[in-house]
């Protein structure tokens, strides 16, 4: 029979360890997947913002180009300058629009009749007629001659070229072309080159360390790329750099749809957006591809971090399972020991009592040692009473045991033995209760370790927090027969932790309800909240018995209370002081309230920033 029970116990332990292993693996997978999903959500939000902002900037520039050339043509028609003033009119209108790089009037034969250039200094100058060129072979002239009277042609995005040379430093541009009629110049083409350097700079500024921005004009030209050596290859006579060659898999997925969000490719996470072009003909404005992509090392780093977090969680669960098994084995062993102890003779009872005494002493010593790392003096003061009572009980038990031994030598009666058993049970119960009280003190004391509220740093309405708190505590006010007046009026904005703020206010309200109104027939409290300088101030006053001046210096000390007989621990105001100083960089002061009792003034700093 013993062999069978031992075999069942071994089987149970093996099954429990297997269960703990399975749970640890599941926890590992859950924590890992949850961490990776959270990272993806955060990056996806960033990338979606990047691509949308980039699309907005590009569409705005294209729309502006179409609008400006129409306005330029319209204003030129309204002015109708004479032959002597036409160049001056061009210069005047040119200076109105700072995004223009070059304006020219090209005749139907391709000859430039007027050309205004913007120098690197920003000055607009008219090109000498002797330097004007024939642009017949330029694609934008050929496309312009095919236009209807009110139609606009937007050329492809490329680098500005003059006299066959790419301008240095690079001048990214595209051209807007319209057919126009002017009395002095006749019929021709109005061509405006737009300076895209500001647009490119804004797009590059959208890139971040954790999400790089890439913009391709067509399939073979990068106009924004984290590697400068990949930019403008077609304009520089180079090949092998573009979305078709660098990111073919992304391009393939983008072609049938206009937007891709939160996609994974290898070790990178990307979001892509396609901007179809209304001018997507040969030499016209290309379809633009916007890609926000994480560096390969970033996702690898996040995966490693997620694996470590998941591994720690899995190990914690596994160790917890082993601890539970060990505790259960210890518990069953203890039960077996107690069952045997009931059947042994007098010497076994004495041995059992000695073992129990040793165990109690070890537990007491263990509690003392564990408290040393926190606050030795305060905890030792709180543990003095229950440990002293336990010591007294054990001393009494030792006296009874000696008396029992003496009686055994002279002749032990049944009544004396029964009395010994009854008194021992009572003494051990008292010792056990006092030990439990010590354990509860240690457990309560652990809450002194300050932890910031789980909610994130944000800007919230302090007055609304107070209103919500008072509503939730209304039943407590009714039970205590206390009337609470709230003078706080929203909105009162405060940057901080709303959960911690609410807990701090609740601690002071609860403290007043429990301590202020002894001997007061009708309790009154008044709460106000208002901004002052760069702070938010909360006052909590009452008509209670007030606070003795001698007690104020110790009011926020840990374990200080005037109601210990009612099981008060003296931790509330201490915790509130920690929170307001560490979470809000604030302070607390105590004065006498005009209502007759005490008034606490809580100052919450507004210096915190959400970006921190």
- Contact predicate 102/177, CB 8 Å: no
Q: Residue 64 CB: number of other CB atoms within 10 A?
A: 15
Q: Are residues 397 and 293 in the same domain?
A: no
Helix axes 296-341, 2-79, angle to 10 degrees: 150
Residue 274 domain-assigned (yes or no)? yes
Q: Residue 358 CB: number of other CB atoms within 10 A?
A: 10
Question: Which residue range forms the structural domain that includes residue 530?
Answer: 458-605
Domain of residue 534, CATH code: 3.30.565.10
Question: For residues 306 and 303, what is the distance between their CA atoms, to the nearest angstrom?
Answer: 5
Q: Are residues 372 and 236 in the same domain?
A: no
Tell me, what's the pLDDT at 52? 93
Residue 2 domain-assigned (yes or no)? no
Residue 7 domain-assigned (yes or no)? no
pTM over 0.85? The answer is no
- The secondary structure element, H or E, covering residue 117 is strand 112-118
Tell me, what's the pLDDT at 214? 94
Q: Are residues 252 and 285 in the same domain?
A: yes
Residue written as token pair 């606050």 = 375
Residue 164 exposed, middle or buried by CB count within 10 Å (0-12, 13-18, 19+): exposed
Q: Are residues 578 and 550 in the same domain?
A: yes
Q: Are residues 144 and 193 in the same domain?
A: yes
Tell me, what's the pLDDT at 372? 33
- Contact predicate 351/401, CB 8 Å: no
Give 149's DSSP letter: T
175 contacts: CB under 8 Å, gap ≥ 6: 140, 154, 155, 191, 192, 193, 194
Q: Are residues 426 and 398 in the same domain?
A: yes
User: 268: alpha, beta or left, given left = phi > 0 and alpha = psi -120 to 50?
Assistant: beta
Q: Are residues 406 and 429 in the same domain?
A: yes
Token pair in block for residue 173: 């541009």
Question: For residues 522 and 519, what is the distance between their CA atoms, to the nearest angstrom?
Answer: 9
469 contacts: CB under 8 Å, gap ≥ 6: 502, 505, 506, 509
Residue 109 domain-assigned (yes or no)? yes
> For residue 332, how far is the Cα from the chain centroid?
46
Residue 4 domain-assigned (yes or no)? no
Q: Are residues 124 and 235 in the same domain?
A: yes
Tell me, what's the pLDDT at 512? 87
Tell me, what's the pLDDT at 7? 66
Q: Are residues 204 and 321 in the same domain?
A: yes
Collapsing DSSP states into helix, strand and coil, what is residue 244? helix
Round the CA-based radius of gyration of the chain to a whole number and report it: 42
- Ranges of residues in the chain with a pLDDT under 70 are 1-7, 83-84, 280, 341-342, 344-346, 348-349, 352-353, 355-385, 437-455, 564-569, 607-612
Tell me, what's the pLDDT at 233? 92
- Contact predicate 167/160, CB 8 Å: yes
Q: Nearest to residue 379, comparing CAs of 326, 322, 443?
A: 443
Number of domains in the chain: 3
């Amino acid at each position: 029979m013993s062999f069978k029970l031992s075999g069942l116990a071994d089987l149970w332990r093996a099954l429990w360890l297997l269960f703990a292993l399975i749970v640890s693996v599941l926890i590992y997978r859950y924590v890992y997947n949850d961490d990776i999903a959270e990272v993806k959500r955060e990056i996806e939000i960033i990338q979606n913002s990047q691509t949308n902002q980039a699309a907005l900037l590009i569409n705005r520039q294209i729309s502006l180009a179409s609008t400006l050339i129409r306005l330029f043509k319209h204003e030129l028609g309204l002015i109708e300058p004479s032959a002597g003033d036409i160049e001056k009119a061009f210069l005047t209108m040119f200076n109105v629009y700072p995004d223009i790089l070059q304006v020219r009037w090209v005749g139907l034969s391709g000859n430039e009749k007027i050309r205004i250039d913007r120098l690197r200094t920003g000055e607009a100058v008219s090109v000498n007629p002797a330097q004007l060129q024939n642009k017949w072979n330029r694609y934008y002239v050929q496309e312009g001659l095919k236009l209807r009277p009110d139609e606009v042609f937007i050329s492809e995005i490329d680098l500005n070229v003059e006299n066959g040379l790419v301008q240095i430093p690079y001048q990214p541009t595209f051209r807007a072309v319209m057919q126009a009629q002017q009395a002095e110049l006749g019929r021709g083409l109005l061509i405006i080159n737009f300076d895209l350097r500001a647009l490119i700079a804004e797009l590059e500024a959208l890139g971040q360390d954790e999400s790089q921005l890439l913009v391709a004009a067509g399939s073979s030209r990068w106009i924004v790329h984290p590697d400068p050596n990949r930019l403008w290859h077609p304009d520089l006579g180079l090949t092998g750099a573009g979305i078709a060659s660098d990111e073919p898999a992304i391009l393939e997925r983008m072609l049938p749809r206009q937007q891709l969000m939160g996609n994974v490719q290898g070790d990178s996470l990307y979001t892509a957006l396609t901007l179809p072009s209304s001018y997507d003909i040969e030499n016209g404005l290309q379809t633009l591809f916007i890609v926000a992509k994480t560096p390969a090392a970033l996702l690898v780093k996040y995966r490693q971090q997620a694996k470590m977090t998941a591994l720690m969680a899995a190990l914690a669960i596994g160790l917890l399972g082993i601890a539970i098994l060990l505790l259960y084995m210890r518990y069953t062993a203890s039960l077996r020991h107690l069952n045997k102890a009931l059947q042994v003779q007098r010497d076994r009872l004495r041995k059992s009592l000695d073992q129990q005494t040793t165990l109690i002493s070890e537990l007491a010593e263990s509690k003392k040692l564990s408290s040393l790392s926190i606050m030795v003096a305060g905890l030792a003061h709180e543990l003095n009473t229950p440990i002293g009572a336990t010591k007294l009980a054990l001393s009494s038990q030792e006296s009874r045991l000696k008396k029992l031994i003496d009686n055994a030598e002279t002749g032990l009666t049944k009544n004396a033995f029964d009395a010994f058993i009854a008194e021992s049970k009572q003494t051990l119960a008292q010792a056990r209760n006092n030990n439990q009280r010590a354990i509860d003190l240690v457990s309560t004391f652990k809450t002194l370790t300050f932890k910031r509220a789980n909610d994130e740093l944000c800007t919230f309405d302090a007055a609304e927090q107070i209103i919500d708190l008072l509503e939730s505590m209304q039943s407590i006010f009714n039970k205590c027969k206390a009337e609470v007046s709230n003078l706080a009026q929203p909105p009162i904005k405060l940057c901080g932790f709303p959960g911690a703020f609410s807990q701090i206010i609740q601690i002071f309200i609860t403290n007043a309800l429990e301590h202020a109104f002894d001997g007061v027939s009708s309790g009154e409290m008044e709460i106000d909240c208002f901004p002052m300088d760069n702070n938010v101030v909360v006052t909590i006053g009452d008509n209670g018995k007030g606070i003795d001046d001698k007690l104020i210096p110790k009011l926020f000390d840990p374990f200080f209370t005037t109601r210990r007989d009612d099981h008060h621990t003296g931790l509330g105001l201490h915790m509130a002081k920690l929170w307001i100083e560490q979470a809000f960089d604030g302070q607390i002061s105590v004065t006498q309230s005009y209502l007759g009792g005490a008034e606490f003034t809580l100052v919450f700093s507004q210096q915190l920033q959400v970006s921190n």
